[in-house]
Amino acid sequence: MKQGKNVFAQIMSFIPKYEFDKCVKRYNGNRHAIEFKCRDLFMVMSFAQFNDQVSLRSIDATLVALSSKLYSSGME
């Protein structure tokens, strides 16, 4: 059985949640957000960048295919 975090979760752990939330608050980033907050968007866009995704359809297909592993990567 696999132990520890996957590579994406390790990279995302370098970004402090407090500093990110401070920037979002400073620029009022979640002003119009209902469910999909700035942190969620940042995680998805970073994931797409690391996996070299080129379209929203490919991002969606990849996230659906990996839906059982999203929690271990820190996305949920």
Residue 17: give the domain boundaries: 7-69
Q: Is 24 helix (H, G, I), strand (E, B) or coil?
A: helix
Contact predicate 6/68, CB 8 Å: no
Q: Does residue 42 form part of some domain?
A: yes
Q: How many domains does the chain have?
A: 1
Q: Does residue 26 form part of some domain?
A: yes
Predicted confidence (pLDDT) at residue 55 exceeds the cutoff of 90:
yes
* Amino acid (1-letter code) at residue 52: D
Predicted confidence (pLDDT) at residue 47 exceeds the cutoff of 70:
yes
Predicted confidence (pLDDT) at residue 1 exceeds the cutoff of 60:
no
Q: Does residue 40 form part of some domain?
A: yes
- In the chain, pLDDT over 90 holds for what percent of residues? 54
* Amino acid (1-letter code) at residue 67: S
Q: Does residue 22 form part of some domain?
A: yes
